[in-house]
């Protein structure tokens, strides 16, 4: 489908970023000049209240303008990834970002060189008082921030640190080729990194098995290179953690958002303590599929299929809006704004980036990229991305720029809460038994993919970093053997753990995200806890949730979530999510009988 053929109401409106590409070019030139002027503050940041205020405001202004430039270029490129013009604009804006970072490397170290009493006195003035949390956080980081010269060196080394991830991406996306997967009728199907999971969802078991075996055969053939790349990535994480005086790579990664290192451990412990309910789900899958043996190539194919559940985009918008009624009229009005003010780029078009996301800047509306199909999965994707967008929208309405964003640790909470409320709405309004089974199975699959799978990844990531920090090496034998053991533990006795799965770690790009994956599971668990409170408590829980959405980074994420009703330093939210999962499995089992 050509983009030009789409009704304008289904295309996002980027004019609050830039009215044209020419306006973007002008802003890029102006920012280059403005960034040089910031050097005038060097050595003077704490000389007076006026100078400090001016420097902070100028620094923020540079950051805001830069984010507008980068975001506009990326969004335009994602409209058509084949368009070289926007590829160039992305490259130029990101290069400018690197230059500004290098030029302004003095800023944070100079602030931290100041006497704490002097800083405190300056912040006591009304026009600077809202920076108190910002400076408190800076001072917390002081032991881990280096001299201006060393910060500049690390900024340059950081570019080299991207090499393992970049090489990994090129190997997967450009160099790997796969044999066709053959179905039961002998017909070939293109096998790629993108088609692999869809093929595993096929009803044709011969096709699933052939795709599984041929897919991992290619990874096996590259396993020495893939092991070396992951070893380099782990070494990089450990190097930067040591340079910044942390005791471990995990402590360094979690320190930025002040997340206790016990949080991912609590997650892993809570999930490990509740694997029996997951085993029961696998047992139900085996029974429903009528298999003597349930293999790992059988876990993606739907156990509820053949359900006709067409939902147009406009219908999905109405249903999502109605489903979010428990969050109040103002929240619903925000959702309606997403449709009326063209936050959303709806349909797949030629060259458009795949998938879905929510993006934007402090100065723009939130933007949502979709590739909508008229089905239930797309409706849940819409609800999910609107959750992100409303989180951004309410944060920017209620927080100054310095706190106008939120951490990755809480990023999935709003989106998953929306999905949980949509799931509840559907189960309360849909009477057809087959559709109810379909909805419930969809919900349980989210648990499988988000809590159980991501926690297994988090456990693997924790273990491989600890091994290197304790003097061990990440040989391909260790990586494969350890990953195989984790699969056996997580899937339990009713699943045949095919030997090829030991190579799966090498196809997971999140292993290059530096302790990122656990946050999918903690965020999902928190969302299940909060949505449960919203539905049972009503207004008190809603008020806490809206306060959470409006808080941005004005407090640490662990504290913001605790105030909302989910204390992630305990096992309670994860254990509660496990209880909800168990009840869902039992309900689906009854519906299937």
Q: Which residues pair with 368 in a beta bridge?
A: 344, 358
Give 359's strand partners: 367
- Rounded distance between C-alpha atoms, residue 129 and residue 124, angstroms: 6
DSSP assignment of 255-276 equals HTTT--THHHHHHHHHHHTTHH
DSSP 179: P
Alpha helices by DSSP H, 341-475: 376-398, 408-429, 433-447, 453-469
User: What's the CA gap between 423 and 36, in Å, rounded?
Assistant: 52
The token duo for 196 is 């692999």
Specify whether the CB–CB gap between 563 and 544 falls below 8 A. yes
Half-sphere CA count of 299, side-chain side, radius 13 A? 24
Segments in 476-567 forming alpha helices (H): 476-491, 518-537, 539-550, 557-564
What is the C-alpha radius of gyration for the chain, rounded to an integer number of angstroms?
25
Give how far the C-alpha of residue 300 lies from the chain's centroid of Cα atoms, to the nearest Å. Answer: 21
Alpha-helical runs (H) found in 222-312? 223-243, 249-255, 262-272, 275-289
Matching residue, tokens 């008020």: 543
- CA pair distance 103, 36, nearest whole angstrom: 8
Give residue for tokens 């999510």.
Answer: 577
Q: How far apart are CA 164 and CA 168, in angstroms?
A: 6
Catalytic residue among 233, 385, 419, 504: 385
Active site residue 385: yes
Report the candidate in 124, 106, 88, 128 with the shortest Cα–Cα distance to residue 39: 106
Q: 409: closest CA among 242, 255, 265?
A: 255
Q: What is the DSSP string of 52-115?
A: HHHHHHHHHHHHHHHHHHHHHHHHHHHH-TT-HHHHHHHHHHHHHHHHHHHHTTTHHHHHHHS-
Distance of CA 78 to the CA centre of its chain: 18
From edge to edge, which strands make up the β-sheet containing 357-359? Answer: 344-345, 367-369, 357-359
The dihedral region occupied by 328, where left means phi > 0, alpha psi between -120 and 50, and beta the remainder, is left
CA nearest to 467, candidates 491, 483, 448? 483
Helix (H) / strand (E) element for 323: namely helix 313-323
Active site residues: 385
């Amino acid at each position: 489908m050509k983009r030009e053929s789409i009704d304008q109401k289904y295309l996002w409106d980027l004019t609050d970023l830039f009215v044209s590409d020419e306006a973007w070019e002008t802003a890029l030139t102006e920012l280059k000049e403005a960034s040089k002027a910031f050097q005038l503050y060097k050595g003077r940041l704490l000389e007076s209240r006026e100078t400090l205020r001016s420097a902070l405001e100028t620094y923020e202004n540079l950051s805001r303008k830069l984010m507008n430039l980068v975001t506009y270029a990326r969004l335009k490129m994602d409209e058509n990834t084949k368009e070289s013009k926007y590829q160039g604009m992305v490259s130029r804006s990101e290069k400018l970002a690197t230059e500004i970072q290098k030029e302004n490397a003095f800023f944070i170290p100079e602030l931290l060189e100041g006497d704490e009493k002097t800083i405190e006195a300056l912040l006591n003035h009304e026009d600077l008082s809202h920076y108190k949390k910002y400076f408190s956080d800076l001072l917390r980081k002081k032991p881990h921030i280096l001299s201006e010269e060393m910060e500049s060196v690390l900024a340059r080394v950081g570019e080299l640190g991207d090499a393992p991830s970049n090489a990994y991406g090129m190997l997967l996306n450009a160099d790997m080729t796969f044999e066709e997967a053959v179905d039961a009728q002998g017909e070939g199907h293109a096998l790629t990194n993108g088609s692999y999971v869809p093929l595993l969802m096929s009803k044709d078991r011969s096709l699933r098995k052939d795709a599984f075996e041929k897919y991992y055969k290619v990874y096996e053939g590259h396993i020495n290179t893939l092991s070396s790349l992951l070893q380099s990535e782990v070494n990089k994480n450990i190097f930067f953690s040591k340079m910044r005086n942390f005791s471990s790579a995990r402590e360094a990664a979690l320190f930025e958002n002040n997340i206790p290192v016990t949080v991912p451990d609590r997650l892993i412990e809570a999930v490990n303590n509740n694997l029996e309910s997951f085993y029961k789900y696998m047992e139900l899958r085996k029974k429903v599929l009528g298999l003597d043996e349930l293999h790992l190539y059988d876990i993606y194919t739907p156990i509820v299929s053949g359900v006709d559940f067409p939902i147009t985009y406009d219908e999905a918008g109405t249903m999502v809006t109605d489903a979010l009624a428990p969050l109040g009229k103002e929240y619903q009005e925000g959702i309606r704004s997403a449709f009326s003010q063209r936050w959303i780029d709806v349909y797949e078009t030629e060259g458009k980036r795949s998938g879905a996301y929510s993006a934007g800047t402090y100065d723009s509306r939130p933007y949502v990229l979709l590739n909508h199909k008229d089905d239930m999965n797309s409706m849940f994707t819409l609800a999910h991305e609107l959750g992100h967008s409303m989180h951004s929208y309410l944060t920017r309405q209620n927080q100054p720029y310095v706190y106008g964003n939120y951490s990755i640790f809480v990023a999935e909470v709003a989106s998953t809460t929306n999905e949980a409320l949509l799931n509840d709405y559907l189960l309360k309004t849909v009477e057809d038994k087959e559709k109810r089974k379909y909805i419930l199975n969809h919900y349980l699959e989210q648990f499988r993919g988000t809590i159980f799978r991501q926690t297994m990844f988090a456990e693997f990531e924790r273990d491989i970093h600890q091994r290197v920090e304790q003097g061990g090496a990440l040989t391909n034998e260790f990586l494969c053997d350890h990953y195989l053991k984790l699969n056996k533990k997580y899937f339990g006795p009713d699943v045949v753990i095919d030997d090829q799965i030991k190579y799966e770690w090498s196809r997971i790009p999140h292993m290059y995200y530096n302790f990122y994956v656990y946050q999918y599971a903690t965020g999902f668990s928190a969302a299940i806890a909060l949505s449960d409170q919203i539905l049972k408590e009503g207004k008190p829980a809603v008020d806490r949730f809206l306060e959470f959405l409006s808080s941005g980074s004005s407090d640490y994420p662990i504290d913001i979530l605790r105030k909302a009703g989910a204390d992630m330093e305990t096992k309670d939210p994860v254990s509660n999510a496990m209880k909800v999962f168990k009840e869902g499995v039992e309900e689906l089992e009854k519906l299937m009988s």
